[in-house]
Amino acid sequence: MNPLHVASISSEMVPLAKTGGLGDVCGALPIALDALGCRCSCFLPAYRSVLKSGLVLEPTNHTFTIHIADRYVACRLLKTRLPNSQVDVYLIDQPQYFDRDGFYSDQSGEYRDNCERFAFFCRAVIEAIDQLELDIDIVHCHDWQTGLVPAYLRTRFGGYAWMDRAKSILTIHNLAYQGRFWHLDMHLTGMDWQYFNWEQMEFHGELNLMKTGIVFADTVTTVSPTYASEITTPEHGCGLETILAGRGEHLLGIVNGVDYAHWNPSTDVHLPRQYSWQDWQAGKAECKAALQTELNLPLQAGVPLIGIVSRLADQKGWDLIIPLLLHWAHSHDVQWAILGTGDPELEAQLRNLAQHHPHRVSASLEFSEGLAHRIEAASDMFLMPSRYEPCGLNQLYSLKYGSVPVVHATGGLNDTVVDTTDETLADGTASGFCFAGYSVANLEETLHRALDFYLHRREHWAQIVNAGMRSDWSWNKSAQRYMEVFHQTLSVEA
Ligand code: ADP
Ligand code: GLC
Nearest CA to ligand 2 atom 1: 173
**What amino acid occupies position 49?**
S
Mutate to test the pocket of ligand 1, among 12, 24, 174 (most ligand atoms within 8 A of CB): 24
**C-alpha of residue 310 to centroid of ligand 1, in Å:** 5
Q: Are 342 and 311 in contact (CB under 8 A)?
A: yes
Where along the chain do the CATH 3.40.50.2000 domains lie? 5-257+476-491, 280-473
In whole angstroms, give the CA distance from residue 243 to residue 198.
Answer: 10
**C-alpha of residue 223 to centroid of ligand 2, in Å:** 7
pLDDT for the residue numbered 107: 86
**What amino acid occupies position 473?**
W
Nearest CA to ligand 2 atom 3: 392
* Coil, strand or helix at 436: coil
In whole angstroms, give the CA distance from residue 127 to residue 131.
Answer: 6
- Burial environment of residue 30 by CB neighbours within 10 A (0 to 12, 13 to 18, 19 or more): buried
**C-alpha of residue 392 to centroid of ligand 1, in Å:** 9
339 touches ligand 1 (CB under 6 Å) = yes
- Burial environment of residue 340 by CB neighbours within 10 A (0 to 12, 13 to 18, 19 or more): buried
Strands 109-110 and 88-93: what pairing? unpaired
Mutate to test the pocket of ligand 2, among 143, 236, 256 (most ligand atoms within 8 A of CB): 256
20 touches ligand 2 (CB under 6 Å) = yes
Mean pLDDT by 10 residues, the chain (494 residues): 91 95 97 97 97 93 94 97 94 98 93 98 98 97 98 97 97 98 98 98 98 98 98 98 97 97 96 97 98 98 98 97 97 98 96 98 97 98 98 98 98 98 98 98 98 98 98 96 97 77
22 touches ligand 2 (CB under 6 Å) = yes
| Gyration radius of the chain's alpha carbons | 23
Nearest CA to ligand 1 atom 2: 21
Query: What are residue 282's phi and psi, to 5 degrees?
Result: -70, -40
Mutate to test the pocket of ligand 1, among 22, 376, 394 (most ligand atoms within 8 A of CB): 394
Residues 6+ apart with CB under 8 A from 268: 274, 373, 377
H/E stretch holding 282 reads: helix 280-294
Mutate to test the pocket of ligand 2, among 238, 391, 395, 413 (most ligand atoms within 8 A of CB): 391
Q: Are 206 and 144 in contact (CB under 8 A)?
A: no
Nearest CA to ligand 1 atom 16: 372
21 touches ligand 1 (CB under 6 Å) = yes
Nearest CA to ligand 2 atom 11: 173
pLDDT for the residue numbered 420: 98
- Burial environment of residue 93 by CB neighbours within 10 A (0 to 12, 13 to 18, 19 or more): buried
Atom of ligand 2 nearest to the CA of 412: 9
Atom of ligand 1 nearest to the CA of 22: 2
Residues 6+ apart with CB under 8 A from 456: none
Atom of ligand 2 nearest to the CA of 227: 9
Q: Give the predicted TM-score (pTM) of the model.
A: 0.96
**C-alpha of residue 368 to centroid of ligand 1, in Å:** 10
**What amino acid occupies position 31?**
I
Q: Is the dihedral of CA 237, 240, 243, 249 positive or negative?
A: negative
Atom of ligand 2 nearest to the CA of 389: 9
In whole angstroms, give the CA distance from residue 217 to residue 231.
Answer: 17
For the chain, the straight-line distance linking the first and the last C-alpha, in angstroms and rounded, comes to: 22
According to DSSP, residue 133 is labeled T
CATH 3.40.50.2000 correct for 280-473? yes
Instruction: Return the number of other C-beta atoms located less than 10 Å from residue 106's C-beta.
Output: 11
Q: Which ligand is nearest to the CA of 25?
A: 2
Query: According to CATH, what is the number of the domain 5-257+476-491?
Result: 3.40.50.2000
367 touches ligand 1 (CB under 6 Å) = yes
Q: Are 247 and 231 in contact (CB under 8 A)?
A: no
312 touches ligand 2 (CB under 6 Å) = no
**C-alpha of residue 27 to centroid of ligand 2, in Å:** 13
Nearest CA to ligand 2 atom 10: 392
pLDDT for the residue numbered 1: 65
pLDDT for the residue numbered 84: 87
Nearest to 268 by CA among 412, 374, 181, 355: 374
Nearest to 172 by CA among 120, 122, 231: 231
Q: Which ligand is nearest to the CA of 22?
A: 2
According to DSSP, residue 4 is labeled P
13 touches ligand 2 (CB under 6 Å) = no
**Strand positions, DSSP E, 175-321:** 180-182, 202-203, 206-208, 219-222, 251-253, 305-309
In whole angstroms, give the CA distance from residue 484 to residue 56.
Answer: 34
